[in-house]
A and B are shown apart, each in its own frame.
Chain A
Amino acid sequence: MNLLSEPIGLPHYLVVGAILFVCGMICMATKRNVLGVLMGIELVLNGANLNFIAFGSPLLRPAGGGSLGLDGQMIAIFVIVLAAAEAAVALAIALNYYHTHLTVDVDQGNELKG
């Protein structure tokens, strides 16, 4: 029960953020559905946001000082707004892709041979 009685520190949050980031990256790399790739991006952004919040939290302030303070939450707000805008544009692009190709498989969109 030593794990449950100690206060949590910054590395706990960083580990969770790293796991979310890596899951999102694998999701982006392996999904063939356009919307699956989009969900991977959302996971990556959430992992990064969690790190910003943890570095700016007054509860997890490291011993030597150097906390982000309120700036961390400010950056997280901007990331959330940008993620919402990015999701809207990506869904519009996915709809256009579906109209032209009648599928949402990203492997089918290879006319440019890239």
Chain B
Amino acid sequence: MIAVNWHTCFFFLLALVACASAVAVVVTGDIVRMACWLVTALAAVAGLFFLAGADFLGAVQLMVYVGGTMVLLVFGVMLTSRGPFVSMKTGGGQWIMALVVGGALLTILLQAALSVPEWSAPERSQAEAAVPPTATPLGMGLMGIRVDQPEQPNRLLRRGMSGYLLAFEIISVHLVVVLVGAAYLARAKRRIEPERLQLHDLKTSES
């Protein structure tokens, strides 16, 4: 009787769901089904985040991606489709080219991932590793204080330990500007058909 490592079991389950959903996103032609498979893939990736000890990031992934971005995407699908089943076929040559390039890239990436022997053995076993909650260190790091690295013995490295306050400011302003710009771009414009435009011109010239 082999003791089953439940961490490994859940990892393989979630990895299988994530990879199968990603492949389903690629092979599905219908855009709404693609969105549904993408929801499954993103939720499985959030589960993988939880398994890796990143609890705050998993929650953020669930809320921002599965909750926010997917609602945005589905509304985009609803606003831009003219019929219930719009399908756009891709030519066979494009599929073959994409599969060849993707297969080559996957080969390179897998070879790189499996080629470092230090990575394959974790330092500690997962049973004895204590994973602290990460929300407080992340928040303090964004405010500019690195509570996870209280002292850095190397003086040169200590200069870079000032946290992520500047990056946080930059990304906040970036998000505000981008959302205002997106609202400006996507505002409802009245489309004027050419024949109605000519009628309008005629009326104005008569009067």
Contact of A70 among B8, B11, B121, B141 (CB under 8 A): B141
Q: In terms of DSSP, what is the predominant structure of the interface of chain B?
A: helix
Contact of B68 among A6, A27, A40, A84 (CB under 8 A): A84
- CB of B79 within 8 A of CB of A27, answer no
Contact of B122 among A9, A20, A46, A77 (CB under 8 A): A9
| A70-B129 contact in complex given A46-B42, A53-B54, C-beta closer than 8 Å | no
Kindly state the separation between the CA atoms of A92 and B185 in the bound complex, as whole angstroms. 6
- CB of A4 within 8 A of CB of B123, answer no
Kindly state the separation between the CA atoms of A114 and B104 in the bound complex, as whole angstroms. 27
Kindly state the separation between the CA atoms of A101 and B146 in the bound complex, as whole angstroms. 51
- CB of A29 within 8 A of CB of B22, answer no
- With both beta carbons as reference points, the residue of chain B lying nearest to A38 in the complex is identified as B73
| A15-B113 contact in complex given A38-B73, A58-B129, A84-B69, C-beta closer than 8 Å | yes
Contact of B5 among A5, A11, A42, A49 (CB under 8 A): A5
A91 to chain B, nearest CB (A): 5
Which residues of the partner chain B approach A70 to less than 8 Å between Cβ atoms?
134, 137-138, 141, 146, 148-149
Contact of B53 among A14, A33, A57 (CB under 8 A): A57
| Interface bits B82-105 vs A (CB < 8 Å: 1, else 0) | 100010111000110111011101
- With both beta carbons as reference points, the residue of chain B lying nearest to A61 in the complex is identified as B123
Kindly state the separation between the CA atoms of A56 and B23 in the bound complex, as whole angstroms. 26
- CB of A39 within 8 A of CB of B60, answer no
- CB of A91 within 8 A of CB of B5, answer no
| Interface bits B133-151 vs A (CB < 8 Å: 1, else 0) | 0100110011000101100
| A30-B106 contact in complex given A73-B57, A88-B178, A95-B80, C-beta closer than 8 Å | no
Task: Spell out A's residues near B (CB within 8 Å).
Answer: 1-16, 18-27, 29-36, 38-40, 42-43, 46, 49-50, 53-54, 56-66, 69-70, 73-74, 76-78, 80-89, 91-96, 98-99, 102-105
- The 3 nearest A-B residue pairs measured at CB: A14-B113, A92-B185, A92-B186
